Structure 1
């Protein structure tokens, strides 16, 4: 059943709020803990539906996965190559990350795994993952266009490969590296543009041999050595910088605001949005910078700011691919034009995010242009009209972006369905309201 929410203009946002754990790192912590020998503990795990689906999948693949009374998680892994054939279909819900990474994981195990998901996930293409994994010996049987439901018949004798990514994608890179763990020799992925490196950092933390070197012709070659002895580790999950983007942009847009977001991940391959916001004139300060389980974190202090339009280079897209929807909202309030290039990847996310943002902004009174891989937002330096109902296409980032817009636009903004928000940011409305927002169920 749809869950419509409406967001209204507020006078000020203030206070401190702990953002849920990083989704990318949460998925990987569960997977690598399941591959390690011995006990791993995970603190700060994002308990959204996407990550809980991964936890269920790891149980189905033979690992012991338990949530403790204090909110931490404990895993007893099976060792590399020790996963078992699941007795039932793995339903990954809305989680593209979980599905694609797990396809890589099981592709090098000699059994069959069947994946499915909700309507949104079943509409998303998986060919970009299955193509390189087929070269390693796995077979894939799915719907036309390489879509779920899909059976993955794992390789009995997996082959190491060297694969150059045709499109920058941390998910595809990670799927290949995960398959390489249970493959003899060295498996290498070449990326011309750097993508988030959580897989490499965490694999090293668990004891794998992973090299990152300059690639001939530019970019990087990431190589994993097969059959490592992964050892259980404690993992502290930083607050998710992609989720932190929503209250951060809200504070920038609502006059007189100042908020603190503690312990947010500041991995430089994830901070393209914040770099862009600073270029737009945002008042964002990193306080108490530190390292946490191999990942850099800091407290974000954000104050309201008058923003100006900028050109966002296409090469920045891999470091902020999930944040373009909320950047487009910020651009709608900025003075001048903001041009975002290299956004083709947005058309195959949970929804066609590029089209969804263009339609939603236009409905709220914002002048916007859309091409195949570019979004141009013409800001006026004033609050857009709002006064619209936006279709979210069951996309959590579209829903949250327009709820943020409603906090500073002239009139309220409604989203037709906010249910998907729980996949990545459970408690989003309550957290925003705790800072001074006004997000309500329709009819309240």
Structure 2
């Protein structure tokens, strides 16, 4: 299994646009798409998935589930169908599992495989191979899983699943939905009760979706945080799922409309899980004209349409407690902050140091290249507003969110903004350029 990202860089430029207008739909939620494929793979029966994000990261997860014995295929009707093999039914793959650029894909899959007696090697692209896996291998080893990793607990990694797994209780040292999910998934094929204690709440898609699949899972709020307990060795039942739009993908057209004069757009069918709406809350606090219309429930998740109009934003302090609900959105928030009046300070950003790139450093470098003044520490960033000059080239470090964020900046900058490589946008938002240009943006290949 190999990634389909082309070898040559694909630079793009973004230049000042007129007003953005239209009703759009962004791709299906990435977090839910990964989980739908994985949980379908270990359920009994056929799970159907509509609205799956058909981006490289998720396609790599589908290929991995097929290699592990669960057939995940896309029908001519656009619906994905997963033939599940049961909680204990995964088998050793014949080839290494290639997760491309996806930390979510590889870390959740490690949990899925950890308590089944199989052997699998996990690999990824150059960016994923730099990311630390110790935060997952440490708790999974407590079940009895064995790992051989590259230096620094990095990929490539070979996993030997525990033959006689033992349940664990694990307190998260950092707020991470990926680590929490990996431990809970390992608990599915472990006798007894496995508990994760999270001092700071994180995305709860795993808990919600596992409950929908019939898992015996309970969440109890205690003084030291949420205690999430899963009872192992109960079969899951196949489901019919409809994946709503990804709020992390919606962030880009949303900020683009806020900073581009005259803009008025509607982003339809967005998931509004309260653990994912930190950016919306922050932008509204900054003065953003964002209203939620047509609220409804779908697949256990609240969804709605975002109506966004151009607004004059003001600088605020974004508290560290909000970071887990918007950790992927800080790059594009930093772009919004550069067009606000005053200073925006963002705290609790240490997790950005170990994303697809050192996102905090990459964001700051991109802002500097386009005439924006910043200050930063290990876990905080201050951005001076007043508008971005533009005219700079942004080094994306193979990071899709850095690329999209600075392409948004160029729509309102005095001069065009260039990103050095846009190939990796396909990992989460394959038609980003087409969708943005369809609303009136000006994104085009660099000369």
TM-score by length of 2: 0.98
Q: Which residue of 2 aligns with 1:242?
A: 248
Paired residue for 1:332?
338
1:228-277 Cα deviation digits (max 9, x unpaired) = 22111101001000000000000000011000111000000000000000
Answering whether residue 407 of structure 2 is matched by residue 411 of structure 1, we say: no
**Distance of 1:435 and 1:139 partners within structure 2:** 50
Describe the SS at the equivalent of 1:99: helix
1:13-72 residue CA offsets vs partner (Å, 9 max, x unmatched) = 000111000000000000001111011100000000000000000000000111011111
Superposition pairs for residues 3-402 of structure 1, below 5 Å? 3-215=10-222, 217-380=223-386, 383-402=387-406
1:433 aligns with 2:437: yes
SS at match of 2:268: strand
Give the structure 1 partner of residue 428 of structure 2: 424
SS at match of 1:80: coil
Question: Quick one: distance in 1 between partners of 2:373 and 2:214?
Answer: 51
CA deviations on 1:153-200 (whole Å, 9 max, x unpaired) are 110111110100000000000000000000000100000111000000
Structure 1, residues 89-126: CA drift from partner, whole Å, max 9, x if none? 00110011000000011111111110000000000000
For 1:228 and 1:26, how far apart are their aligned partners in 2? 23
Rounded Cα–Cα distance in structure 1 between residues aligned with 2:234 and 2:59: 27
Post-superposition offset of 1:227 = 1.1
Distance 1:76 1:110 in 2: 20
Superposed displacement of residue 358, structure 1: 0.4
What is the CA-CA distance between 1:218 and the residue it aligns to?
Answer: 2.8
Matched position secondary structure for 2:385 = strand
Work out the CA distance in 2 between the residues paired with 1:214 and 1:240: 27
Q: Mark the runs of 5 or more structure 2 residues left unpaired by the alignment.
A: 1-7
- Quick one: distance in 1 between partners of 2:275 and 2:281? 11
| Counterpart for residue 446 of structure 2 | 442
SS at match of 1:262: strand
Structure 2: how far apart are the matches of 1:416 and 1:286? Answer: 35
Corresponding residue SS for 2:411: helix
Which residue in 1 is equivalent to 2:3? none
Please give the alpha-carbon distance, in whole angstroms, between the structure 2 residues aligned to 1:370 and 1:190.
31
Aligned mates of 2:64, 2:278 — CA distance in 1: 31
Tell me the distance in 1 between the aligned counterparts of 2:234 and 2:419: 47
Paired with 1:272 and 1:12, the residues of 2 have a C-alpha distance of 26
* Count of matched residue positions in the alignment of Structure 1 and Structure 2: 440
Query: What is the aligned partner in structure 1 of residue 9 from structure 2?
Result: 2
Q: Matched residues in 2 for 1:126 and 1:168: separation?
A: 15
The list of structure 1 runs, each at least 4 consecutive aligned residues, that deviate by more than 4 angstroms after superposition, is none
Unpaired segments ≥5 residues, structure 1: none
Q: What SS class does the counterpart of residue 260 from structure 1 fall into?
A: strand
Partners of 1:31 and 1:131 in 2: how far apart? 22
CA RMSD of aligned residues (A): 0.6
